[in-house]
Amino acid sequence: MYAFCHKGSGFSGAIDYILDAEGMNNKIVQLLGSEGVDIPLDDKNHPIFDTHSIAQSFQIQAAMRPGISKPVRHLILSCPPEDREKLSPRLWVQIAKEYMCGMHINNTQFIIAAHKEKDNPHIHIIYNHVNNDGKPVEEKFFKKRSTEVCRAITEKYDLHWGSEKALSQLEAIHKPEDQILYQTARVVTEELYYSSNKSEFRMNLMSRGIQIREIRHGSREGILFVVNGTNGNQYTFAGSRLGRHLTCSKINAYFQHENDNRRSMARETRLSANVVVSHIISLITSLIPPAETEEYQPNHSTEGEQKDGKHRQKASGFRESFRECIK
């Protein structure tokens, strides 16, 4: 058995990938265990993969230590194909617990999931680098200790270690793409939140090195995100792979909802303004003396004082009515 670890800043992409809640990545997922994460069950006692809620629970704990920019830890424990028959779900859970204990990964949130694919048997562990007390999980001599723990587990359960070549090939396949996938999912989610329309969304992503390609097959629409990796390779991710909230239909629905909200707010603002204006117009009109009324000329006569008093009363009434109008 061997292991390698990815570090990341966004939980959503990692959780969407390993749980594949929407079934977009054609993975057969089995949730083996969790701690510190609320995962509801359906009426048949099967877990409900609400990836948004799971990611949110991780993020809330990570927020206790805002100085840690990459709180995501994604472990992959893998064995050669010849060990497949030995590795029952129960044994995988035991191996995961022993590995985490040996690596001093405790007092923190985690989920464990297995992907039942045709290649080498493996499990995924996502844990929070910020523990339940708001402190970072110990990582001193992580790589050296991981090798020692893996060798001990391999010998204990009579597993195969696997060649160094196989390990390097597997790591080369998974590591760059997974890291870029998680980073892309985080950036796209951020820009979706901050953009007011789809054109702005596209331009904001282009400024961060991500291009959008929209595709159509008959009545079905899709969206692809293209990004250049630091290793010189170009990666293309379907929106569904980055997260179920980043599919073409969900993005379109999001911007439509935002536009509807803005139009509704604009209508309410115009209606409020019209009400105020109508009040002001009616009040001003009430202050205008009739056409046949003698033009007011202030003087010291008794008649002039009476007219002056009437105008003061009307002006005072106008001020009070206006105050009521704008309350």
Mean pLDDT across 293-298:
47
CATH of the domain at 109: 3.30.930.30
Q: What value does the CA radius of gyration of the chain take, rounded to a whole number of Å?
A: 33
- In this predicted structure, what is the pLDDT of residue 42? 76
pLDDT band at 30 (very low <50, low <70, confident <90, very high): confident
**29-35 and 110-115 beta bridge pairing:** antiparallel
Q: How far apart are CA 187 and CA 68, in angstroms?
A: 18
Query: Does residue 51 fall inside a structural domain?
Result: yes
Q: Is 284 helix (H, G, I), strand (E, B) or coil?
A: helix
Residues 158, 298, single domain; the answer is no
* Residue 266 covered by a domain: no
* pLDDT for res 326: 45
Q: Which residue has the tokens 């002006």?
A: 315
- Given 106, 129, 162, which residue is the final one in a domain? 162
User: Is the C-alpha dihedral spanning 76, 82, 85, 91 positive or negative?
Assistant: negative
The two most distant CA atoms of the chain are separated, in Å, by: 118
With beta carbons less than 8 A apart as the criterion, state whether 122 and 115 touch. yes
Three-class SS state of 77: strand
Which residue did the predictor score with more confidence, 312 or 186?
186
- Across 260-285, average pLDDT: 58
Residue among 55, 73, 72, 62 nearest 9 (CA): 72
Output 289 or 3, whichever has higher pLDDT. Answer: 3
User: Is a pLDDT exceeding 50 seen at residue 296?
Assistant: no
User: Looking at residue 286, what is its pLDDT?
Assistant: 60
Among residues 145, 162, 179, the one where a domain terminates is 162
pLDDT at 172: 52
Give a yes or no: residue 176 inside a domain. Answer: no
First and final CA of the chain: distance in angstroms? 72
Domain range holding 80? 2-162
pLDDT given at position 262: 60
Q: For the segment 118-136, what is each residue's pLDDT rounded down to a tens digit?
A: 567 889 999 999 999 999 9
Total domains, the chain: 2
Whether residue 135 lies inside any domain: the answer is yes
| Phi and psi at residue 145, to the nearest 5° | -65, -35
- Report which of 73, 83, 89, 69 is spatially closest to residue 146, judged by C-alpha positions: 73
Cβ atoms of 180 and 227 closer than 8 Å: yes
Residue 37 within any structural domain of the chain: yes
- Residue 261 lies inside a defined structural domain of this protein: no
User: What confidence category does residue 148 fall into, taking pLDDT thresholds of 50, 70 and 90?
Assistant: very high
Last residue of a domain, one of 162, 193, 228: 162
Confidence of residue 101 (pLDDT cuts 50, 70, 90): very high
Residue 149, in any domain of the structure:
yes
Residue 233 lies in a domain: no
Secondary element (H or E) of residue 198 = helix 198-207
109 versus 301: the higher-pLDDT residue is 109
